[in-house]
């Protein structure tokens, strides 16, 4: 019974993560192809919160390890899906979206500019909302 729940959790997690990845990449494709000319593209070569990095391959390796760790966490350590795995799914999808940018472009494509203070994308939003959702579930206990 426990293993069956894990398989269902894996399917739900994968479906949500792939939906986030797909949405993120579709929007980035539209932005890059300049379909809406009023949207400005920002090439983000930096790490979290704009921290500079010099080695893109090392960063890709590190983020890949984080992705594997989070995926393992959902498979092995979380209670049933309703208890927080939704947040982990959003985090995984966001990580996958930004990681694919790093692999294919060498930078992350950002296009949402908030008051000239923050520039981000759908993957970043998914990661932030996933962390908030997961934190809420943990603190709610």
Residue 19 in contact with residue 26, Cβ under 8 Å?
A: no
Contact between 57 and 99 (Cβ < 8 Å)? no
Q: Two tokens at 49?
A: 């919160």
The active-site residue, picked from 9, 24, 101, 124, is 124
124 is catalytic: yes
Q: Is 89 exposed, middle or buried (0-12, 13-18, 19+ CB in 10 A)?
A: buried
Catalytic residue, chosen from 9, 24, 101, 110, is: 110
Question: Is 9 one of the annotated active-site residues of the chain?
Answer: no
Residue numbers annotated as active site: 110, 124
């Amino acid at each position: 019974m426990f293993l069956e729940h894990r398989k269902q959790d894996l399917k739900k997690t994968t479906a949500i993560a792939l939906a986030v990845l797909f949405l993120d990449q579709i929007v980035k494709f539209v932005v890059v192809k300049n379909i809406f000319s009023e949207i400005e593209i920002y090439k983000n070569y930096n790490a979290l919160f704009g921290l500079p990095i010099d080695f893109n391959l090392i960063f890709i390796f590190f983020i890949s390890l984080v992705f594997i760790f989070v995926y393992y966490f959902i498979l092995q350590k979380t209670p049933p899906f309703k208890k927080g795995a939704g947040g982990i799914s959003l985090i995984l999808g966001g990580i996958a979206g930004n990681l694919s940018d790093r692999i294919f472009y060498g930078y992350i494509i950002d296009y949402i500019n908030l008051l000239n203070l923050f520039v981000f994308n759908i993957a970043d939003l998914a990661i932030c909302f996933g962390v908030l959702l997961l934190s809420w579930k943990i603190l709610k206990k």
